[in-house]
Amino acid sequence: MKSIYIRPTNIIFGQKANFFIQEGTAKSLCGLEDVGFLSVEILKRQADGNTVEEYSVLELEKLDLRNEIESDIDKITSKRNNIYNLNFKNPILMGVLNVTPDSFSDGGKYNTTFRALDHVKGMIDFGAHIIDVGGESTRPGARSVSEQDEIARTSETIQFIKKKYPNQLISLDTRKSKVMQHGISIGVNILNDVSALDFDQQSYQVVKDSGKPIILNHSQGIPEDMQNNPTYENVLLDIFDYFENKIKFLKSNGIRDEQIIIDPGIGFGKTLEHNLEIISKISLFHSLGYPIMVGPSRKSFIGKIMGEKDNPQRLGGSIASVLYSYLQGIQLFRVHDIQEASEALKVYSEFLKKQ
């Protein structure tokens, strides 16, 4: 467990960022020329309570603990590894395709190949870089399905997408090693495991042998029980520690840096306050040194904020969450509404360039 954590703050974009990075009053975020940060928060775990202090980039060299934070600063500022043709210079959108009867938002809407492909075409036309195909609902309270059922739900759709759109990147949303193996055999490019390889002990071997990128999603518990009073000492720091330990284990067992993407797991074993804390300070995870994905789309925390005004689409809350994450340098988003998210990010990024 770490005692000191670093979160980049006052993140700036465009020509302003480039100018201040060149001047040395800002540091590059993720090795980008046009995204930088002017200051950092230093969070300390202490027996008598955690503390938070903020310093400008210029003050870092004068700090007594500069040697302790140097490694984290290097990770924050280092260029992220490209994944296929994705270089993380611009927002990357992952479109959700649930071919299930019971997913929390769109269960039953796309569980025939014809309807699924029609939806895929729309997502690709509106700018989806990745299509994330899932055959098992992992909504709160959902029960696990068999490997055979999950393969049966996803296989035909994946093969049809690959045939019609041979260059389209496909991720497979699954917790099971045999489903992963089958997906890889029919052309899946990326694996997306909501359990971060904890559910099936053979999964990490599949990732190692295949060399495929893996999205490690933090979850407390399993879907059946993950919302039964989830608790943390400090949700941000506990998740950070989890990822740091997980990554150390995976790397010591043959999984490479360039395979790893992290996702703090909005809604997976978190209360409303936990989710708000994660999104509001998600830039903390830059100091792990890996691409970060966030998936707030249509999640229940939005409904809890809206109360009786809630609606199933939760479009406004989803877009707000995406934009707030983007403002903190997150550039990979898993969303249901590709057209709206793409438009929002494109327009918002133009405003940021004019800061």
The catalytic residue among 7, 212, 246, 334 is 334
**Residue 146 tokens, joined:** 């068999």
Handedness of CA 192, 197, 203, 207 (dihedral sign): positive
Number of H helices, E strands in the chain: 11, 12
- Residues with Cβ < 8 Å from 291, sequence gap 6 or more? 80, 81, 83, 88, 260, 261, 262, 331, 332
Q: DSSP character for 82?
A: P
What are the two backbone dihedrals, phi and then psi, of residue 136, each rounded to the nearest 5 degrees?
Answer: -140, 125
Catalytic choice (163, 299, 309, 346): 299
Please name which of 212, 32, 30 lies closest in space to residue 130, comparing C-alpha atoms: 212
62 as an active site residue: the answer is no
**CA distance linking residue 264 with residue 85, whole number of Å:** 24
d(CA 115, CA 119): 6
What is the Cα–Cα distance from 97 to 135, expressed in whole angstroms? Answer: 9
Q: Residue type for 97, please?
A: L
Is 178 a catalytic site residue? no
Active site residues: 299, 334
